[in-house]
Each structure stands twice: as structure tokens, then as C-alpha cells.
Amino acid sequence: MLKCFLLELVMTIKYGHPRKPTLLTAKNMRRERHWQTVGTENRFEQIYLRSTASRPIEFLRTLGKKQPKVMILGPGVGEDTVKLYRSLTAEHLDPKIDTFGLTNSLSRAARRIIVRDYSINMPLEMITPRVPEHQRLISALIGKYDLIVGALSVGIHTRYPAYNVFASSLMLSPGGKAFIEVRDYRDKKKIIEVVKKMVGAYNRANGTNFQFDLENINFTGYNRYLEITRIQ
Ligand SMILES: C[S@@+](CC[C@H](N)C(=O)[O-])C[C@H]1O[C@@H](n2cnc3c(N)ncnc32)[C@H](O)[C@@H]1O
């Protein structure tokens, strides 16, 4: 509790201002309807094979864990996640996949393979330890995952991409990797700098030693991801 309160303090004092809620404007409502249609099966090839050049799957292959813990941030309907699950089980892995998104639109097939959907109709950037329900969520997610994938979600549909990359990174277990899609190259350079500062401030405030390696990856020319590795 104290740790998270300090994190909140660091975020609001050192990095400007409290984060504003996402406004449900007509434009956003249209976008929400669109979100329900994304996360379709065909997105699997785009996300896991083309945009990230199979790095998330390759990582799980070489990790050596029979039951890797996976978090999908912003799954949409989650059909691509079903395909990910099937491609991993075909390789004799038994992934434990959780999800977290703003909208709650998982298909029936996705619900069958997902261990837990942590969505609470709240964008990632608005999760705050001041609210007991959020506090429980933070405790459940921090340091938990071997692999995190956020395609077209927390790094894009937000006013706070750097904060969301930071918050996503904290969910990694040591040695874990996150692949978060972000908007453009300039953004990414700035995001990397700000995330590093946030990690430093978090470590100083909490006496922790989270360390991440952040790398730009762009295999297709238009889908851009940050690959984040938790070193310790
Ligand atoms: C466009 S869909 C992407 C679905 C799928 N990942 C794909 O790439 O096809 C956006 C997803 O991200 C979630 N999302 C968008 N902004 C978010 C935020 N700020 N925090 C948490 N989830 C968010 C939505 O709920 C939805 O599940």
C-alpha cells in the first residue's frame, strides 16, 4: 500500500499532473464500437508474425517454462489470442493467459482459453492505488508475467503512452518481455526516455531495483513496437 502510494506521489509530483480520465466523446464511443471488432483471428499473423517478427513466440519457445504466464493488454474480441494459445499448445506449451482492457468484449471462444480477464472498464492509466479495487488489481499484476503483448491498445489509445509502457513493464517477472505497440518513432524515443525516468523514480521511492532494457522494433515499416525486457 505504502509502495503504491509513493508511486502515485512520484507520478503526480515529479511527472507533472494527475492523469485525466478518458472522455467518452461521440468519437470515442465510435472507437469503442470499432474495438469490439478488433482482436479478430486475422490479427494473429499481423501481430505475432509480421509486426514483431515472431519474437514473442520465439521468446516463449526458448524460455523453458511449460506454463508461461502471458498478459494480453487490450485483447478486443480476443480471437487472435485464441490463435496464439493454439499455436503455443501445438508446441506442447500450456500458456496461462490473462487479459486486461478498457472495453470488455471477449468472444465466447476467447473466454474459454483465458484464465482471467482483469478488465474493470478503466483505462490502464487511470488505475490508482487510492481505490481499493484498483489496489487489489495492482497487487495481483505486478511482477507476474513472462510475456506481455499490447497491440493497438495501451500504448496507442491513451494520452499517456509512456506511463502505460511503464505500468505494463512493472507487470513483467524478472527476465520477462513485453511488446507494446506505440505510435511513431519520435514518440518512441521520448517514451523510452520518460519510462527510464519513471523507473528510476519508482526505484528510489520504493527501494526497489527494477531494471528494463527498452528497444524499438519495426519490422514492417508501419507497425511499431517497443520490446521491453525486465533485466531484474
Ligand atoms: C483496437 S482494439 C485492439 C485489439 C487487438 N489487440 C488487436 O490489435 O487487434 C483496442 C483494445 O485496447 C483496449 N484499450 C484501449 N485503450 C486502452 C487503455 N488506455 N487502457 C486499457 N485498455 C485499452 C480496448 O479495450 C481494446 O480491447
**pLDDT tens by residue, the chain, 232 residues:** 444 544 554 444 344 455 655 444 445 545 555 555 599 999 999 999 999 999 999 999 999 999 999 999 999 999 999 999 999 999 999 999 999 999 888 999 999 999 999 999 999 999 988 899 998 999 999 999 999 999 999 999 998 999 999 999 999 999 999 999 998 756 667 889 999 999 999 999 889 999 999 998 888 877 789 999 999 7
**3-class DSSP assignment, residue 207:** coil
- Among candidates 93, 52, 73, 92, which has minimal Cα distance to 171? 73
Cβ atoms of 137 and 127 within 8 Å: the answer is yes
Domains of the chain: 2-16+25-230 (3.40.50.150)
For the Cβ of 68 lying below 6 angstroms from any atom of ligand 1, the answer is: no
Q: Which residue minimizes the CA distance to atom 13 of ligand 1?
A: 74
pLDDT at 219: 83
Percent of the chain at pLDDT > 90 equals: 70
Ligand 1, atom nearest to 124 Cα: 20
Cβ atoms of 171 and 154 within 8 Å: the answer is no
Residue 143 zone, left/alpha/beta (φ > 0; ψ -120 to 50; rest): left
Exposed/middle/buried for residue 143 (C-beta within 10 Å: 0-12, 13-18, 19+): middle
Helix 185-206 to helix 161-170 angle, to the nearest 10 degrees? Answer: 50
Cβ atoms of 116 and 98 within 8 Å: the answer is yes
pLDDT at 184: 72
Tell me the C-alpha distance between 19 and 100, whole Å.
Answer: 19
- Round the CA-based radius of gyration of the chain to a whole number and report it: 17
Report how far ligand 1's centroid is from the alpha carbon of 36 (Å): 9
Residues sharing a CB contact under 8 Å with residue 62, sequence separation 6 or more, in sequence order:
none
pTM across the whole model:
0.88
Taking only the tens place, the pLDDT of each residue in 67-116 is 999 999 999 999 999 999 999 999 999 999 999 999 888 999 999 999 99
93: amino acid identity, one letter? L
Report how far ligand 1's centroid is from the alpha carbon of 45 (Å): 17
Ligand 1, atom nearest to 101 Cα: 22
Tell me the C-alpha distance between 63 and 86, whole Å.
Answer: 18
pLDDT at 186: 61
